[in-house]
């Protein structure tokens, strides 16, 4: 009986001794705050002046600033431009460019007539990580296609709208 009691006592003593054994270690923790990613619009996306004529069509402005028309659309001389943004952030950091997923609606200045802008493109291309330059800057240009109805569908005058481009650290 004493032998069983002694065995149980030794077992409990060994078990409780292990549970009291501890190891304590200190370790460093780090966090680094970086500058916020910012973007400033340098140039508006501007399709310029045109006449839709009898069937309309499309006007495309590419990120490198070329403008072309399809359908019966006649382009006028005058100014047009790709959208241009100056992005600034942490030097050599990777960012992503997210273009609009939906068309932008341009509203006529004096009526309820609208035009749609879609088929967004960017330089550098969206969807893939892009590296900021060693000074933390990046110039991004945006192109798109304006879908034009007939002269009857689209009244003479100025059409205006907005779109959003998102720049994010990757």
What are the DSSP E strand ranges found in the chain?
38-43, 50-51, 57-61, 67-71, 74-75, 83-88, 94-98, 104-108, 114-123, 130-131, 137-148, 159-160, 166-169
Name the pTM for this structure: 0.81
pLDDT digits (tens, 9 = 90+) for 69-95: 999 999 998 899 999 999 999 999 999
**How many CB atoms sit inside 10 A of residue 34's CB?**
11
pLDDT of 7 over the 90 cut: no
For residue 1, being part of any structural domain is answered with: no
For residue 20, being part of any structural domain is answered with: no
For residue 110, being part of any structural domain is answered with: yes
For residue 14, being part of any structural domain is answered with: no
In CATH, what number is assigned to the domain containing residue 85? 2.60.40
The pLDDT of residue 169 = 96
Rounding to the nearest 10 degrees, give the CA dihedral for residues 146, 159, 47, 137.
-100
Range of the domain at 152: 36-169
Dump the DSSP string for 95-137. Answer: EEEE--SSPEEEEESSSS-EEEEEEEEEESPSSS-EEPPTTSE
Q: Into how many domains does the chain fold?
A: 1
Give the distance, in angstroms, between the CA of residue 164 and the centroid of all CA atoms in the same chain.
Answer: 8
In this prediction, residue 3 has a pLDDT band, given cuts at 50, 70 and 90, of: low
In this prediction, residue 124 has a pLDDT band, given cuts at 50, 70 and 90, of: very high
């Amino acid at each position: 009986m004493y032998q069983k009691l002694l065995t149980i006592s030794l077992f409990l003593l060994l078990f409780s001794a292990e549970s009291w054994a501890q190891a304590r270690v200190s370790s460093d923790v780090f966090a680094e705050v970086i500058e916020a990613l910012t973007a400033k619009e340098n140039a508006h996306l501007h399709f310029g002046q045109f006449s839709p004529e009898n069937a309309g069509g499309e006007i495309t402005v590419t990120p490198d600033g070329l403008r072309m028309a399809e359908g019966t659309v006649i382009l006028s001389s005058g100014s047009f431009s790709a959208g241009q943004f100056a992005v600034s952030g942490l030097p050599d950091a990777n960012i992503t460019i997210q273009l609009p997923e939906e068309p932008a609606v341009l509203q006529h200045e004096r009526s309820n007539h609208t035009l749609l802008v879609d088929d967004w493109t960017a330089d550098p291309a969206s969807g893939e990580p892009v590296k900021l330059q060693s000074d933390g800057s990046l110039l991004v240009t945006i192109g798109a296609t304006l879908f034009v109805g007939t002269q009857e569908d689209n009244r003479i005058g100025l059409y205006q709208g907005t779109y959003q481009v998102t720049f994010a650290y990757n």
